[in-house]
Amino acid sequence: MSKIAFLFPGQGSQAVGMGKDIAEQNPKAKAIFEKANEALGYDLQKLCFFGPEEELKVTYHTQPALVTTSIALLEAGKGKLPKPDFVAGHSLGEYSALVAAGVLSFEDAVYAVRQRGELMNDAVPVGQGSMAAVLGADTELIRETCEKVQKEGLSAQIANINCPGQIVISGVKEGVERVSILLKENGVKRVLPLAVSGPFHSQLMVPASERLQTVLDPITFSDALVPVVTNIDGEPKSNAKELEKALISQVYSSVQWERSIQFMIGQGVETFIEFGSGTVLTGLMRKIDRTRKTMNIFDAESLQQAIDELTRSSV
């Protein structure tokens, strides 16, 4: 039978109403939202289901909301879907992947990402940092341009290598603007500022990563039951200590998403299933390799469709 990978989305995939349908129809999913409320001490479920959107978009609400929705969908599919050969999550989604692999308990993960959201939000004053998506440009050109701007004394670096032709840069506002200008002078046509609250996955997040270590220290990490392909290098890890270290480095390191997917393809993964709000990872997957089967599980109907399709293909 062909190999399967479970994927979990990160920030930017959130939407008001996420998880509502599955929680109403599946007791296991409902229990996850209840556990989140208990672990956080406020009504995250209400925020996911009914908003308001402005509040859901705040980093320290978005992060636990996305992890909760992904794990609720995963729990609803347990026993009906085949077990994965690999798991991976985009940025924040790595925490969902660690829950799926048995490395973290859901309660610990949702608590940790709430703290992570606050630390990332507080690391750089609002308005001082920014991010931008560079479309259709060569990775080496972007890297060289960032290095040139760094020599000018402005912080700017590659934050995400998502798929061919889609790279995100991050740094101080002036640094990202300077890189954007230089890239356009070099013929890059599309550099789009992103609506984010901080310069995520940049060196400006080092203080947040150091403080995150104190959040993770008392949390129990177990060895993974399924290899976790980590953002920092696109390599599989199962050792508890290595996976914890990867979470710390991930805060200020580039997300190697394309490399992660290519690694799993190289290992024979034919089917990629995205659990959670939105279709971001499925969209990236089509740009990396259109020949692979992709599925989205975001509500009760899409879960049932995935179960039916995988059951048919395994007969």
User: Can you tell me the mean pLDDT for 57-79?
Assistant: 96
All residues at 6 or more sequence positions from 224 whose CB lies less than 8 Å from its CB, including other chains: 98, 101, 102, 103, 237, 238, 239, 240, 243
Whole-angstrom CA distances from 169 to 27, 162, 183, 189 are 41, 11, 12, 15
Please check whether residues 11 and 84 belong to one and the same domain: yes
Please check whether residues 266 and 295 belong to one and the same domain: yes
User: Can you tell me the mean pLDDT for 154-174?
Assistant: 97
All residues at 6 or more sequence positions from 32 whose CB lies less than 8 Å from its CB, including other chains: 23, 68, 71, 72, 75, 106
Please check whether residues 230 and 119 belong to one and the same domain: yes
Q: Is it the case that residue 38 has pLDDT exceeding 60?
A: yes
Please check whether residues 181 and 109 belong to one and the same domain: no
Please check whether residues 135 and 90 belong to one and the same domain: no
Q: What is the largest CA-CA distance in the chain?
A: 61
Active site residues: 91, 201
Tokens representing residue 254 in the block: 């580039």
Predicted local distance difference test score (pLDDT) of residue 315 = 57
pLDDT 10s digits, 177-219: 999 999 999 999 999 999 787 899 999 999 999 999 999 999 9
In degrees and rounded to multiples of 5, residue 7 shows phi and psi of -120, 150
Please check whether residues 221 and 305 belong to one and the same domain: yes
Count of domains for the chain: 2
Please check whether residues 183 and 63 belong to one and the same domain: no
Please check whether residues 174 and 189 belong to one and the same domain: yes
Last residue in a domain, options 146, 170, 196: 196
Which neighbouring-strand residues pair with 134? Answer: 167, 191
Taking 3-state DSSP, the helix, strand and coil percentages for the chain, each rounded to the nearest 5, stand at: 50, 15, 30
Please check whether residues 281 and 138 belong to one and the same domain: no
pLDDT 10s digits, 228-271: 999 999 999 999 999 999 999 999 999 999 999 999 999 999 99
Give the domain CATH number at 114: 3.40.366.10
Name the helix (H) or strand (E) containing 8.
Answer: strand 3-8
Please check whether residues 24 and 110 belong to one and the same domain: yes
Give the domain CATH number at 185: 3.30.70.250
Identify the DSSP state of 34. H
What range does the domain containing 157 cover?
Answer: 129-196
Q: Is it the case that residue 19 has pLDDT exceeding 90?
A: yes
In degrees and rounded to multiples of 5, residue 193 shows phi and psi of -60, 140
Instruction: Please report how the helices 173-185 and 139-151 are oriented relative to each other, as an axis angle in degrees rounded to 10.
Output: 130
pLDDT 10s digits, 287-312: 999 999 999 999 999 999 999 999 88
> HSE-up of 234 (CA within 13 Å, CB side)?
18
Number of H helices, E strands in the chain: 14, 11
Last residue in a domain, options 168, 196, 224: 196
Last residue in a domain, options 144, 175, 196: 196
Please check whether residues 58 and 161 belong to one and the same domain: no
DSSP code per residue over 166-193: EEEEEEEHHHHHHHHHHHHHTT--EEEE
Instruction: Please report how the helices 93-100 and 240-250 are oriented relative to each other, as an axis angle in degrees rounded to 10.
Output: 170
Please check whether residues 8 and 133 belong to one and the same domain: no
Question: What's the pTM?
Answer: 0.96
pLDDT 10s digits, 118-163: 999 899 988 899 999 999 999 999 999 999 999 999 999 999 999 9
CA distance 179 to 144: 10
**Across the chain, what does the average pLDDT equal?**
96
Name the helix (H) or strand (E) containing 275.
Answer: strand 269-275
